[in-house]
A and B are shown apart, each in its own frame.
Chain A
Amino acid sequence: MNVAAPRSGLMRGLYIGYMLAFFFYLAAPLAAAAIFAFNDSQFPALPWKGFTLNWFFGSTEPQIGLFNDRRLMAGLINSLWIGVIVSALSVVIGTCNAFLFERKSFPFKSALYVLMIVPLVIPGVILGISILVFSSMIANGVSDAFWWEWDFLRPGVLLVILGQLSFLVTITTLVISARLRKFDIALEEAALNLGASRVRVLATVTLPYLAPALFSGFVVAFLVSFENFNTTLMLVGSDAPLTITMYDRMVKVGSTPVLNAVSVFLMIGSGLLALASVFAQRPRRGEG
């Protein structure tokens, strides 16, 4: 008998009812967003007018599908490559940070560790405006002093990358540190005693051990980057990523089922990636 469970049958029934209601609450909006992607109607609303895949593949007015909508596809491609760059950078910096905080000792370490976590508790909008303000200051300064126009410091892809990087590094650092902490340092010592060089130990012992965390960190960073809105909104230029394009469409044109198609696409894509990251983190046989 589980001591943590309610004792009476009625209470147990109520508890299970509560859990079901909670999962219904979680699923309802997602289901609503998904279902109308397949409705053969101009509006994402009842009544149901029959099943169609036109909102994904349609190529004729008025049902231009997601994969034939040039603006949405451009947004998707921007999101993809921004996500890959940002995640790669945050995994590299995160790995350095993990080694720095797990392996090295230096003055003010605990204060700097807190500083490393701080970006997680700064609202995204503020990270966005601070990077906007700072880069504009540099751009204005350079323009006043040397008459150079550093357009890459104006809102655009570079600023979006920097803005997302500012808080994603904290996330990847935490993910990678958690695994590095479990690493048995005796393995490295054994390899060193057997005559391997430091670089070789890193490449053949430590990094392979960290690989699942590196992968997971990359996936998590990619997903957060892909779905980020608040920071990106402040920094976006003409090459808007998908979430911004979709928001623009929602506010300016109103909702059409193509936005539901985008939602379905995002749900499937991020669900698969998240599952991949969960499985990569699973302990394998022979590991403690």
Chain B
Amino acid sequence: MKSSDASRLTLILLFAPFALWIILLIILPQIGVGWLSLREKLGPREYAFGFGNYLDFFREPIYWNTLLRTAWISVLVTILALLIGFPVAWYIAKIARQRSRAALFLMCLIPLWVSDLVRAFGWILLLRETGIVSGMLQWAGLSSGPVELLYNDITVVIGMVYTVVLFMIVPLVSTLDGMDNALLEAGYNLGGSRMTVFRRIVIPYAMPGIVAGCIITFMLAAGSYLTPILLGGKNSMWFTEQIYEQFVTRYNWESGATFGVLLLVFTSAVVWLGLRLTGQNLASTVAKE
């Protein structure tokens, strides 16, 4: 049949770019990194295969401590972003009037389009010893000398929440927007308290948005580079920094690849666990917008 031939042809033509993209830029490179991580360097141009690079990682406490530290700070950032972002999303989706809603939403989005670098730079100017906050504290008489507010964990967390909170708000707003206020009214009419209505109606309804926001936020936090390094300084101990150092400074690609695989496995495991625990799947959460 002629038309089915034509339809096959279009299918093939549409499939080709997808296949080229996903195979050449995603699948094969990931396999390449996996392969490289299993290659051990014995001498110049002499290699063996095995899990030696992974063993080295677990033998060196500084490496796995860095991964653990990256992990818990990222989880902390995700939780804070959810706590800070939820009321904002609720306000935009449920309380603000139609006209101001779009404007508020846009205001949330504008910092999103400014590079991480600019945002981190802004924080540096605010918080460093000669920065604005230090100057204001001295001017107000709250401090007798310059205060260094950079290079500590709290600053790193504040800066990272800043970078990712918008990615939490956007999916939350789009989910909450679809919730009918009648659901809330019904909850109250049936005698539910504020807390009960929130716990039994709002949270289950918003779950896809919460999960999507948490996944994106966590991935961005764990994979971030600029904010922890610029705000945390030399002792920030961030895992992506280790990867960069192995690749570029030490030129030890085998161990850099090992670190890359570990970071990817680790973040994927967290995402998978999050999806499992909440009964969601990747296509229905992340790709929803």
Contact = CB atoms under 8 A, between A and B. Distances in A.
Q: Do A and B come from one complex?
A: yes
B247 A25 contact: no
* Range for the number of chain A residues in contact with chain B: 35 or more
Nearest to A129: B260
Contact of A121 (B184, B188, B219, B256): B219
A113 B268 CA distance: 17
Interface of A: 2-5, 15, 18-19, 22-23, 25-33, 36, 43-46, 92-93, 96-97, 99-100, 104, 106, 110, 112-127, 129-134, 137, 162, 165-166, 169, 174, 178, 198, 223, 226-227, 229-230, 233-234, 243, 246-247, 250, 255, 259-260, 262-263, 266-267, 270-271, 273-275, 278
A123 B222 contact: yes
Nearest to B161: A25
B121 A122 contact: no
Contacts of A33: 118-119, 121-122, 125
A209 B282 CA distance: 28
Contact of B117 (A130, A137, A243): A243
A121 B269 CA distance: 12
Highest count of chain A CB atoms <10 Å: which of B11, B135, B215: B11
B116 A229 contact: yes
Contact of A3 (B125, B185, B219, B286): B185
Contacts of A129: 33, 243, 247, 256-257, 260
Give 3 nearest A-B pairs by CB, closest first.
A123-B223, A29-B122, A130-B29
Given A92-B17, A93-B17, A227-B114, A36 B125 contact: yes
Nearest to B124: A255
Interface string B245-270: 00110000100110010011001100
A3 B188 contact: yes
Interface stretch (B46-54, B59-67, B84-92, B203-211): B84-92
Contact of B95 (A4, A26, A121): A4
A52 B76 CA distance: 42
